Structure 1
């Protein structure tokens, strides 16, 4: 009997000990949970502090960028020299009766010059284009026609109000055949057997830096004596084949190019080359590139 009670007492002691150990373990678990919860709270607080720091840093960064922008010197446009061709770029000059009739059918108003049955058609948007060119550049008119032809065209355009403001007083020069560099050639499309190039060397006599000069001429041959990237060669104005309502080339293609050139800080040739050859070139350079040509070998032999 006594042994049975002893065994029962020992069993109760073991159960009591096991219960105590279980309670101690549960207390540790609860303590661990509390520690974990505390750790989570601390992590959340640290995250909140980090987010606040990032916000503050971004604000400081924004304030710093704004402050720097106030003191950063602006990129001012450069007033370069723009040489403009006349026939083929700004207007179409002709004598053919059939061409005149074809142009009228396409909606163009033909202007007479009262000189040798010569007529001309201003390209749509010519006045606005010239006005913007005068604002942005020093402008030179340069035609390979005779001095008399140039004078007749300028006088006719002025009389009809086709030139903006005091155009003749605002442009730097009006040049014609005497300023061109001439080469004898047998090419059929040179009526008098002479190729007349618009050489930039003539600029030296007028204290004009060649680096800051861009020639706009629809004929690639006129740039034969210059750097290949001294000029852009826009699409030739052809009122006999293009309806008046479809030609907005001066305003939609050329002006955006010239506006971009104003803010280019290096020489003109680097601007033309960089924007001309880039495979990823966007419009309007893509449109201009479609009309780029090469110098005819028969002409090149004379240069």
Structure 2
């Protein structure tokens, strides 16, 4: 009897030794393909063997554990090693002229003759541009998107509700006339308008959108840190005059939407703007891409026919900033200089 028990113990010991040897060879037989990441393999718990034959449950557990280790070594469980992709660029869109056409009721020349408005509010009739909803979805997939309009806040909200809809919550910010600079000058767009048009609509203020306010997070309500965005990763779409003080090649200036044009495909899948933005999303640098892929109207420079007027605007704004800078310390010490970049005025 004693002899049989001794043989049984020897059998168990030999089996354990063989199993441990096989396991050790298995652990060291494959190489972890990411040596810079420490791989923690759970230690197997010692089991008290009460029988010479292992139970079926024990075999299943060991098999599952071995399969799990094999999956890790083969790289199938590398979903935890998530590597963040490149940060999306910031795209700043307008509303009127690009996404919609907005016409005041007392301006008959601006009201389309071939179609009815998609919706109206107050004194305005609004006409959606073809593909505008799909275009906004496209932009939100590839960029961080903000809306910046020179219209009043209440007018913007009407358009956002009727055009953007549920996508409104995905837009990072919505800026209006209050975040623009009123230069104190008037737009030249309406200089040839009939004199019977009311003065307050005929003499439209010249507003400017300064990108540095976005980059410096001036109003402290933007969802990014100061300096996170700059001229290298920001694109403004607007009228040329509204980008008068911005660094070169940080904006494009498409011509305004003509609601009477039934063939308009500018925002469509193969449209000019969407093709341009598709390439911009993959580009490494905004100014370089904009310089190499011209679209829309040219920026306002000293070759512009109205440069004499716009140079006065630039001088006036710069003088205003210089006055603020030279004022005795009435601003906090941590405030940044008002001027980071100034256009060169050539006579």
CA–CA distance in 2 between the matches of 1:220 and 1:186? 15
Pick closer, same or farther for the CA change 1:111–1:100 going to 2, 3 Å: farther
* 1:134 Cα deviation after fit: 0.6
Q: Aligned with 2:121: secondary structure?
A: coil
CA–CA distance in 2 between the matches of 1:179 and 1:114? 23
* 1:271 Cα deviation after fit: 1.3
The equivalent of 2:207 in structure 1 is 196
Paired residues, what number?
Answer: 203
Q: TM-score scaled to structure 1, two decimals?
A: 0.61
The equivalent of 2:256 in structure 1 is 236
* 1:77 Cα deviation after fit: 6.2
1:216 aligns with 2:237: yes
Report if the CA contact (8 A) 2:244-2:300 is conserved.
no
* 1:294 Cα deviation after fit: 2.4
Pick closer, same or farther for the CA change 1:187–1:83 going to 2, 3 Å: closer
The equivalent of 1:182 in structure 2 is 182
Q: Aligned with 2:126: secondary structure?
A: strand
Structure 1 window deviating more from structure 2 (226-235 vs 126-135): it is: 226-235
Pick closer, same or farther for the CA change 1:89–1:214 going to 2, 3 Å: same
Q: TM-score scaled to structure 2, two decimals?
A: 0.54
Larger radius of gyration: 1
Q: Aligned with 2:236: secondary structure?
A: strand
Q: Aligned with 1:132: secondary structure?
A: helix
* 1:193 Cα deviation after fit: 5.2
CA–CA distance in 2 between the matches of 1:141 and 1:193? 21
1:249 aligns with 2:266: yes
The equivalent of 1:66 in structure 2 is none
Q: Aligned with 1:215: secondary structure?
A: strand
Structure 1 unaligned blocks of 5 or more:
1-75, 277-287
* 1:151 Cα deviation after fit: 1.7
- CA deviation vs aligned residue, 1:73-118 (integer Å, no higher than 9, x gap): xxx66511100011111110012473476x241xx44123331x21
- CA deviation vs aligned residue, 1:133-165 (integer Å, no higher than 9, x gap): 01001111111011111122223x1xxxx326x
The equivalent of 1:163 in structure 2 is 164
CA–CA distance in 2 between the matches of 1:193 and 1:141? 21
For 1:68-217, list aligned pairs within 5 A: 78-96=87-105, 98-99=108-109, 103-105=112-114, 108-115=115-122, 117-155=123-161, 157=162, 162-163=163-164, 166-189=166-189, 191-192=202-203, 194-203=205-214, 204-205=216-217, 206=222, 207=225, 208-210=228-230, 211-217=232-238
Q: Aligned with 1:86: secondary structure?
A: coil
Report if the CA contact (8 A) 1:86-1:143 is conserved.
yes
- CA deviation vs aligned residue, 1:275-298 (integer Å, no higher than 9, x gap): 33xxxxxxxxxxx25x32525421
- CA deviation vs aligned residue, 1:215-236 (integer Å, no higher than 9, x gap): 112x110110101211111121
Report if the CA contact (8 A) 1:216-1:232 is conserved.
yes
Report if the CA contact (8 A) 1:104-1:110 is conserved.
no
1:275 aligns with 2:293: yes
Pick closer, same or farther for the CA change 1:91–1:186 going to 2, 3 Å: closer
CA–CA distance in 1 between the matches of 2:281 and 2:299? 25
* 1:120 Cα deviation after fit: 0.6
For 1:10-25, list aligned pairs within 5 A: none
Q: Aligned with 1:255: secondary structure?
A: helix
Equivalent of 2:246, from 214, 222, 226? 226
